[in-house]
């Protein structure tokens, strides 16, 4: 299995077979707002796992209520907030075009 960079090089060489790729430099997009929260500690990981389990249980309960069709219970459903990771934050920032006006070199 090829790495992503190897696949990119092979794809480029299909258009110009006589070319030689000496180097490839991949750069990141600078966003206006920080998208990463830093390194995740073990405690943060445990909190995240607990939160995911609670969300999964709430979702299963919600699906059960929707199957039964009880209108009173449907109104009482808890709409909990969702959390996204740094990868999701980057996607949202890219979609909203929150790219920084200044960039490094």
pLDDT, tens only, 26-55? 777 777 766 666 666 777 778 888 888 988
Q: What is the pTM of this model?
A: 0.34
Give the burial class of 92: count Cβ atoms within 10 A of its Cβ; 0-12 exposed, 13-18 middle, 19 or more buried. Answer: middle
28, 103 contact by CB (below 8 A): no
% of the chain with per-residue pLDDT over 90? 9
Alpha carbon separation from 86 to 2, 32, 65 (Å, rounded): 26, 14, 32
| Residue ranges per structural domain of the chain | 4-95
pLDDT: is 22 or 66 the higher one?
A: 22
């Amino acid at each position: 299995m090829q790495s992503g960079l190897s696949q990119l090089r092979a794809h480029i060489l299909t258009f110009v077979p006589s070319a030689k790729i000496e180097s490839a430099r991949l750069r990141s997009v600078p966003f206006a707002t920080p998208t990463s929260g830093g390194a995740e500690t073990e405690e943060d990981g445990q909190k995240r796992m607990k939160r995911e389990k609670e969300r999964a249980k709430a979702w299963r309960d919600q699906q059960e209520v929707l199957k039964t069709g009880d209108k009173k219970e449907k109104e009482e459903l808890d709409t909990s907030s969702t959390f996204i990771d740094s990868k999701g934050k980057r996607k949202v920032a890219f979609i909203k075009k929150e790219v920084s006006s200044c960039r490094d070199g």
